[in-house]
Amino acid sequence: MTRDVARVVVRNGTRWQALYEALDHCARRVPLYRGIEGPDPLLPPELAAKDALSRFPILTKQRLARAFPHGLVPEGLSLGEALRKKDVAFVGTSGTTGERVQVLWHQPWWDAQERDGFRVHPLTKELVASPGYREAVLTTPVCSGNLCHVGRLPMQERVEEGKVLFLNQAMHPASWSDADVIGIADELELFAPTALEADPAYLAHFCARLSMLGRKPYRPRFVDTSYEFAASSFSRVIAQTFEVPVLDAYGSTECGFVFFQCAAGRYHHNSEWSAIEIVPLPAARGLEGVGRLLVTPLRNPWLNLVRFDTGDLVRMLPGACECGQSDSVVLSAIEGRAKDLLVCADGGFVTVRAVDRVLSGFPSILHWRVCQTGPTQAHAELVALPGMAPALESCLGAVSAALARCLGFFVAIAIVPSLPVEVSGKFRLCAATHADVLELLRG
């Protein structure tokens, strides 16, 4: 991969220096990158970093899994000693079976870069810096940051340092009883967090169930969604229920807190803590303006990843952001995972976000999934908001027609009570089971 193929995105000289130092460190001291020539010290940091970055291969999850842990440990550092001192920990991601990897987790780095990520929005910038800030987390218990909670644990055992409360202990929202939903609401009121961090699917189902029970939730100052794709239907019901700003964050266990929404709803890069590359997909019909996201974390002594392929597709904002901030790269949209692309009748591709834009026009939908089973065969399963099944039933023809315009062929529609969850605890909104979509994408 050469520089003219992947657009390397770093804004200022200080960040070029940080990228230079990260690449130099990896080339000289990290076994995974042994044999790769580092940056030329005779060149200015920007030129040297660009030149060196092109020599590093794209890091896939499979290659990362093979290298863990010793291929990532810098020469001269003792992993055993760091583990004993709790300077570093083994943390696994919550991907599906073939995507699960482990990384070396350095908590001070994570806390610092996450805190900086919230600076994009004036409200979150102020609140996160306040002394009394604390948050509750509602997500799959498989992966709640660097902690996991499965099983029935007392509330006090799910509070970390008095600042973070982990709410959910069940693998699927459909398994929640009314008592579970009320219990989550009770704990929110008791803990009174400044912010609620949540998987958007889990929180949307909680909102729908709580509304059905006739109860209003405790209102934090803001909600930030993360962990999986924030469908428009999820964000809408969350905003209607909590009546506070709902802001989406993009990041991962491997790469940290990479993007956060500003007041205008655009995704700004947390550029002090990573360098990003957006690899265009010029030969992929339907994906004009969309690129693969590669991330190189910065300033972390243990997270030695270069050009990590996140598996996600993003769309850059073509002009300036309405919020007025101009010191970082801005995305107009997170388009979803490359593996979740659907294939049109004409051979072009459709992203998860494109399908979401179509279905966002039907406010009676809570949750949805589109599964493509052949070149011109697909079915969609829709979960209605509580009490909205008749309204959804009345517009199924319009839903089918809208999806047909998007994909170029008829899509069968069914209303279902719930959707299956992946092994990771997350939901897959789109899947093409008839073809290897990633192979098609490579051409």
pLDDT at 1: 29
Identify the weakest region by mean pLDDT among 42-46, 99-103, 130-134.
99-103
Convert the pLDDT of each residue in 136-185 to its tens digit: 999 987 544 455 555 678 898 889 889 999 998 787 899 999 999 999 99
Q: Which two tokens stand for residue 301?
A: 């002594």
Distances (CA, A) of 224 to 91, 158, 195, 238, 379: 22, 19, 7, 10, 31
pLDDT at 417: 96
Per-residue confidence band for 7, with pLDDT thresholds at 50, 70 and 90: low
| CATH number, domain 341-442 | 3.30.300.30
pLDDT at 13: 57
Q: Are strands 164-166 and 159-160 parallel, antiparallel or unpaired?
A: antiparallel
Please state, in angstroms and rounded to a whole number, the distance separating the CA atoms of residues 257 and 121. 14
pLDDT at 148: 55
Please state, in angstroms and rounded to a whole number, the distance separating the CA atoms of residues 75 and 73. 6
pLDDT at 11: 52
pLDDT at 2: 29
Please compute the mean of the pLDDT values over residues 192-197 and round it to a whole number.
Answer: 98
Convert the pLDDT of each residue in 300-309 to its tens digit: 989 899 999 9
Residues 6 or more apart from 142 whose CB is under 8 A from it? Answer: 94, 148, 150, 171, 424, 425
Please state, in angstroms and rounded to a whole number, the distance separating the CA atoms of residues 336 and 354. 9
Helical spans, DSSP H, in 44-159: 45-53, 61-67, 79-84, 107-117, 122-128
Please compute the mean of the pLDDT values over residues 184-201 and round it to a whole number.
Answer: 97
Q: Is the pLDDT of residue 283 over 90?
A: no
- b/e code 251-290 from CB counts within 10 Å (16+ = b): bbbbbbbbbbbbbeebbbbbbbbbbbbbbbbeebebbeeb
Q: Is the pLDDT of residue 97 over 50?
A: no
Domain 122-244 belongs to what architecture? 3-Layer(aba) Sandwich (3.40)
pLDDT at 95: 59
Please state, in angstroms and rounded to a whole number, the distance separating the CA atoms of residues 222 and 244. 5
Q: Is the pLDDT of residue 93 over 90?
A: no
Instruction: Please determine whether the domains at 7-112+250-339 and 122-244 fall in the same fold group of CATH.
Output: yes
Q: Is the pLDDT of residue 328 over 90?
A: no
Q: Is the pLDDT of residue 230 over 60?
A: yes
pLDDT at 338: 97
Per-residue confidence band for 424, with pLDDT thresholds at 50, 70 and 90: confident
Per-residue confidence band for 8, with pLDDT thresholds at 50, 70 and 90: low
Please state, in angstroms and rounded to a whole number, the distance separating the CA atoms of residues 100 and 123. 34
Convert the pLDDT of each residue in 14-27 to its tens digit: 889 999 999 999 99
pLDDT at 144: 40
Q: What is the mean pLDDT of the chain?
A: 92
Q: Is the pLDDT of residue 4 over 50?
A: no
Using a 10 angstrom Cβ sphere, with 0-12 exposed, 13-18 middle and 19 or more buried, the burial of residue 89 is middle
pLDDT at 152: 76
pLDDT at 342: 98
The topology (CATH level 3) of 7-112+250-339 is Rossmann fold (3.40.50)
Convert the pLDDT of each residue in 42-92 to its tens digit: 999 999 999 999 999 999 999 999 999 999 999 999 999 999 999 999 887
% of the chain with per-residue pLDDT over 90: 83
- Going by the DSSP 8-state scheme, the letter that residue 288 receives in this structure is T
Give the angle subtended at the CA of 119 by the CAs of 159 and 271, to the nearest 5°.
110
Domain residue ranges in the chain: 7-112+250-339, 122-244, 341-442
Please state, in angstroms and rounded to a whole number, the distance separating the CA atoms of residues 19 and 296. 8
pLDDT at 98: 53
Is 231 in a helix, a strand, or coil? coil
Please state, in angstroms and rounded to a whole number, the distance separating the CA atoms of residues 353 and 196. 24
Please compute the mean of the pLDDT values over residues 239-264 and round it to a whole number.
Answer: 96
Candidates 431, 430, 420; CA nearest to 172 is 420
Cβ(315)–Cβ(346) below 8 Å: no
